[in-house]
Structure 1
């Protein structure tokens, strides 16, 4: 049968639709178009820099129907791959995008192996086409993610990673930057989250000569997450949408569709609210997977000393090095004198530099190495010539450093800083008291006696460790509480025990903490004062006794025998009391040893339940709480120093505009009308000309202003003489 007016060769969309419905009937038509493609491709290869619209349409047509004729289209992908490899940079951008889209379309239909296509796309990252590179980056990430959706293909991932690492060393900066971006994105999506990827970024990316690659690699280890900003904006949008939807639902007609939409919006708002309540989670596991952290820290520090880049890049180097030192407890003694140079109040980003100094401190660093940093902060920040905020920031930074390396603080410097606890500015006072509270737990012997406070049971049990000493527990701390009766481990009322359920109580740092601190210290000062007064009274009594004894010896020699007998009896009583006290101490020591041994045996022979751990936590909490302390001790330190802990200043914050307007309006209530009051009894009566003149337009009063010319000295003399003569005549 011969078909008249056949328009299929010229109408490719119609032919594509018919082939997908019935491939066998239109096989000849497809072969005809495929031959036309081959001939057009040969012509295009002679001049690949020009656009060919017909070839563009043919390529997309064959890619759409290639799954219908797999035998005829076996060599079709290879033709496009060869053309892209040979003329990648010289191809017309439109034609190059067309070939790439056709290959991606065939890859989605599993007509091309993933490795061959991805290697080609990695090579195309060198093309000077920004849109193409971003398009390829999105496809590569999506394709690798889909391949590892059900299970990770280790062989394929290893091959792609090796090729990616070679691209990272490429001299082309655009290809290298795109490669590191792809690796970082795949790591964030938990696809290539292995140590191999991290260490390639650490060894190649962080020491790259290409600045964009270097900055991207450093940001990867700093854990910057730009997606959180977008999430916050979306949460606020969800709240606005919920309010608007509720208002529309009140006004509009009630229908099933609108009701369903309202329920969906409510669900989204609940999800957004839950996200806000959850604490922000940061993934810093990349810096933990570095194989050679010491070598990386030394290399970055050497690179930092020799670089002439911007100050922001230097801050990134300092941040990464400080995190490596703090997490892996490294030794890099040259880092501390280098960072000391930037510790000046006028230095830009000085609080971040203090943060880096605190992050680089840990217990294994000798105190002599970090002590110059503390002295520099004390000399440059904690002086009365600076403002109170600068002094408070210096004290907070000192506290954060000493929290990680308590042995760095000297006794003389600590006692000098502790004297700021009575400073007139509250921000400085609270910062100094927080430092005192730290050393009450760590090294109370360095503090003055009046600053040590009362020892709690937890402080008495805590052993002061020397440099390099590791605390090893032979049993579960607090397990001896299980040997006692459960009634003895009650924290207070029944309400408190039910509400807390034996867990730690989280108390926010606020000005109330300062109030508790003040009351505690006042109690301590009072106790110390009472002790000192008792000592003075004892000394006075001793002196009075001595004088009385001297008087007795001089006055009456007959009573010597009686005095000697009294002294002997007193000495015997004192010796008996000492022996009794020693025996009591021995008994207490034996009881403590027996309790520890029993607790150790209990931990070795018994599996603790949730109720047992609840009792242990309650007992440990009770040890840390005394009259002078209202919250549990914070023994654990975080891996990273928060900038807020250094910039935390206790002071009365300024009100925002809305709160200020509320206070102003509240003050105007029950008050007369605000404004200037004139002396008129009747408000509706007329005003004088001088009062009216104040409200007139300047144009109306301009002639008056012109007449008020400043008088000369001669005119003033004449006016004064005239005035005096006039007064003389009046007399």
Structure 2
């Protein structure tokens, strides 16, 4: 019996592909035959590119799979495919177009084609009206650029691609421009193209695009969130239960499959533990990397004034402009009158508009510019004709604006708003008190005397800054705490310092026994006080014999003594600050020292004042919750009301008719049984209970009387 020959070469391309990869030299002739067949099919396909050719499809994938075995023969193969896509991209059959793209990607993965040429071609293919192809190309472009910058960043390639994408953002095709900006944003989020050049391309081109989708995507980038929804955190859902797996393995039957699963779970647990210990990666906000924030803010404001986009897009403009003004401390005085027109309680999303007004406030803006906003908020929101929630939101917004620009508030307006501290609604009362607390820290002189409260040490040390003044520190704040009864500085003489060969100044620690400079000063003050008390006692004995004129001299001497005592105290504080400054310059503080300094600074903020200190660090952005924060007891929902009802029914007799029988097992009367009978059995009884009319009653009565008369 003769066996048939299973070798079907060259028709069987998968078999030939397998044999070529194993032994390229032996099957060189077969490959060249297929390559010539590909060239002939290509010429025929060029005559009618819109028609699908299955044979060309198979041949292209075959050549792409084995091209690395014959690099010299396949040198022009990528160029043929690229020319087809470049010339006939929009008219090609979708299946053929996808085949050519996949073949080029396969060649790119084998490093048989330059990355720049392929990526530029793929960016041009984003113009094709094929959503699946565009999504596929976007994923490949991002992955390819990420892999190229995995070990080290290729600055030359990145610069060339960024310049090409700069032109793609200006493309007339809106889909290509939108996909290009999506790719740039995704690469920025993956920390690949997180340089200022990419950010400024989006700022100068994307934010001023005529295409609404490109404009919105670029604005969302500077607002800190992408168009796509964030992926849910599945880490908690797929958490590895290692303890449960170990317990199950102990009590269950021992099998090879179970042991493999246990080892897999152990590896997952170790991997999850390492992932938890890794420091989280944060993206630096792109709004900080803008080269010309003033020009960008002015351009966006001009675009906002002339745009006809929907209200949500205008809100994005206002948000980005306010962030630029607040972070970079810009001057855009026309922004504040424009935003004032939206400050009405009935305005849609008015809390966000108030948020933008607060974000656009900073210390360098003159108070006269922001004061109209405060007056508008006070007139439109903080009035008793509005609800308590509207009033509370207005007060909260006023507080957030004044927190960033305290000089914008006038004395009369502040005192009027402070009177709401005793308002009947708790939400308004708490909002007014928070405003009072802010100005107790910033400008207590603007408040009424009864609202200033007891001054703290931190308030006494803080200086009221004028417009444009900056607070510059020449030492570590709170370093005086290291001088009090715990540490003394022993600054050696020049001779001793020479013997130390330039080492640090030594600092000796004491437990309070030896005292220090402060203790000596305190003792001197006590001695002085005792001497003054003795002198006062002697003078008191002589005062009885002197005239009233001597009393005036004593009063003057008391004032002079008080003045000298105050000067002495100020001198002591000055000496203490100089000692603390010298300590900071001659010594490196330890972690324990900084803990004591922080504790001392915190104590200053709460001494003789509030229970909790005011936050000193201002956030870059105003949180919407800070304006919408309303202290109010909410009404019960249905579930809580039902819980209250059920709790009230406990230990209470059942509502309804109660059986009055002494023995509950005895028989019931006919009237009691009648209540549980079926209606069909009692229908005739119900009919008899129909009320008679007055005429029927007369007839029945007459019949009854006649019957009685006959019976007699």
Q: TM-score range by the shorter chain?
A: 0.7 to 0.9
Give the corresponding residue for 1:10.
11
Distance in 2 between residues matched to 1:99 and 1:66, nearest whole Å: 14
Distance in 2 between residues matched to 1:176 and 1:582, nearest whole Å: 75
Deviation at 1:394, TM superposition (A): 1.3
Give the corresponding residue for 1:446.
446
Give the corresponding residue for 2:363.
363
**With CA pairs under 8 Å and 6+ residues apart, which has the higher RCO, 1 or 2?**
1
Give the corresponding residue for 1:511.
none
Are 2:436 and 1:432 aligned? Answer: no
Deviation at 1:29, TM superposition (A): 1.0
Deviation string 1:52-96 (CA, Å, 9 cap, x unpaired) is 111101111111111111111111111101111111111111101
Deviation at 1:482, TM superposition (A): 2.4
Change (3 A) 1:611 1:127: same
Distance in 1 between residues matched to 2:673 and 2:371, nearest whole Å: 72
Give the corresponding residue for 1:628.
609
Among 609, 624, 645, the alignment partner of 1:643 is 624
Deviation string 1:446-470 (CA, Å, 9 cap, x unpaired) is 1111111111111100001011111
CA contact (8 A) 2:602 2:613 kept: yes
Distance in 2 between residues matched to 1:260 and 1:321, nearest whole Å: 55
Among 592, 600, 603, the alignment partner of 2:584 is 603
Larger Rg: 2
Change (3 A) 1:703 1:680: closer
User: Equivalent residues in 2 for 1:265-414 (5 A)?
Assistant: 283=283, 285-414=285-414
SS of aligned partner of 2:655: coil
Give the corresponding residue for 1:514.
none
Are 2:66 and 1:86 aligned? Answer: no
Change (3 A) 1:281 1:331: farther
Distance in 1 between residues matched to 2:698 and 2:579, nearest whole Å: 112
User: Equivalent residues in 2 for 1:554-593 (5 A)?
Assistant: 566-593=547-574
Deviation at 1:369, TM superposition (A): 1.2
Deviation string 1:118-160 (CA, Å, 9 cap, x unpaired) is 1111111111111111111111111111111111111111111
SS of aligned partner of 1:25: coil
Give the corresponding residue for 1:220.
221
Are 2:105 and 1:125 aligned? Answer: no
Deviation at 1:704, TM superposition (A): 7.5
CA contact (8 A) 1:37 1:59 kept: yes
Gaps of 5+ in 2: 489-542, 700-712
Distance in 2 between residues matched to 1:621 and 1:578, nearest whole Å: 35
Distance in 2 between residues matched to 1:472 and 1:653, nearest whole Å: 46
Give the corresponding residue for 1:516.
none
Are 2:656 and 1:676 aligned? Answer: yes
SS of aligned partner of 2:164: helix
Distance in 2 between residues matched to 1:645 and 1:340, nearest whole Å: 20
CA contact (8 A) 2:240 2:265 kept: no
CA contact (8 A) 2:363 2:468 kept: yes
Distance in 2 between residues matched to 1:688 and 1:383, nearest whole Å: 71
SS of aligned partner of 2:43: helix
Over aligned residues, Cα RMSD in angstroms? 3.6
User: Equivalent residues in 2 for 1:483-562 (5 A)?
Assistant: 483-486=483-486
Distance in 2 between residues matched to 1:611 and 1:374, nearest whole Å: 45
Deviation at 1:601, TM superposition (A): 2.6
Change (3 A) 1:260 1:46: same
CA contact (8 A) 2:240 2:268 kept: no
Change (3 A) 1:268 1:244: farther
Gaps of 5+ in 1: 489-561, 723-731
Distance in 2 between residues matched to 1:412 and 1:695, nearest whole Å: 81
Distance in 2 between residues matched to 1:677 and 1:358, nearest whole Å: 65
Deviation string 1:369-393 (CA, Å, 9 cap, x unpaired) is 1111111111222222222222211
Distance in 2 between residues matched to 1:217 and 1:184, nearest whole Å: 8
CA contact (8 A) 1:242 1:269 kept: no
SS of aligned partner of 1:23: coil
The structure richer in helix per residue is: 1
CA contact (8 A) 1:486 1:615 kept: no
SS of aligned partner of 1:238: coil
Deviation string 1:664-719 (CA, Å, 9 cap, x unpaired) is 554444x13543243634667759879977998899999989x999x9xxx9x999
Are 2:27 and 1:47 aligned? Answer: no
Are 2:200 and 1:199 aligned? Answer: yes
Change (3 A) 1:563 1:603: closer
Distance in 2 between residues matched to 1:394 and 1:374, nearest whole Å: 9
Deviation at 1:414, TM superposition (A): 1.0
CA contact (8 A) 2:454 2:608 kept: no
Deviation at 1:567, TM superposition (A): 3.1
Deviation string 1:285-313 (CA, Å, 9 cap, x unpaired) is 21011111111111111111111111111
Give the corresponding residue for 1:557.
none
User: Equivalent residues in 2 for 1:49-128 (5 A)?
Assistant: 49-128=50-129
CA contact (8 A) 1:19 1:65 kept: yes
Deviation string 1:503-562 (CA, Å, 9 cap, x unpaired) is xxxxxxxxxxxxxxxxxxxxxxxxxxxxxxxxxxxxxxxxxxxxxxxxxxxxxxxxxxx9
CA contact (8 A) 2:402 2:408 kept: yes
User: Equivalent residues in 2 for 1:211-250 (5 A)?
Assistant: 211-225=212-226, 229-232=230-233, 234-238=234-238
Of residues 320-329 and 641-650 in structure 1, the stretch that sits farther from structure 2 once superposed is: 641-650
Change (3 A) 1:631 1:264: farther
User: Equivalent residues in 2 for 1:178-193 (5 A)?
Assistant: 178-193=179-194
Change (3 A) 1:145 1:582: same
Give the corresponding residue for 1:173.
174
Among 247, 256, 259, the alignment partner of 2:259 is 256
CA contact (8 A) 2:168 2:176 kept: yes
CA contact (8 A) 1:235 1:272 kept: no
Are 2:476 and 1:473 aligned? Answer: no
Change (3 A) 1:656 1:21: farther
Deviation at 1:658, TM superposition (A): 6.2
SS of aligned partner of 1:364: coil
Deviation at 1:628, TM superposition (A): 2.9
Give the corresponding residue for 2:540.
none
Deviation at 1:240, TM superposition (A): 10
Deviation string 1:612-640 (CA, Å, 9 cap, x unpaired) is 32222222122112243222331110110
Of residues 219-228 and 126-135 in structure 1, the stretch that sits farther from structure 2 once superposed is: 219-228
CA contact (8 A) 1:249 1:258 kept: no
| TM-score, normalization by structure 1 | 0.80
CA contact (8 A) 2:217 2:226 kept: no
Of residues 427-436 and 595-604 in structure 1, the stretch that sits farther from structure 2 once superposed is: 595-604
CA contact (8 A) 1:221 1:284 kept: no
Change (3 A) 1:434 1:271: farther
Distance in 1 between residues matched to 2:630 and 2:672, nearest whole Å: 54
| TM-score, normalization by structure 2 | 0.82
CA contact (8 A) 1:223 1:282 kept: no
Distance in 2 between residues matched to 1:581 and 1:564, nearest whole Å: 25
SS of aligned partner of 2:557: helix
Of residues 368-377 and 159-168 in structure 1, the stretch that sits farther from structure 2 once superposed is: 368-377
Deviation at 1:111, TM superposition (A): 0.3
CA contact (8 A) 2:200 2:289 kept: yes
Give the corresponding residue for 1:727.
none
CA contact (8 A) 2:363 2:405 kept: yes
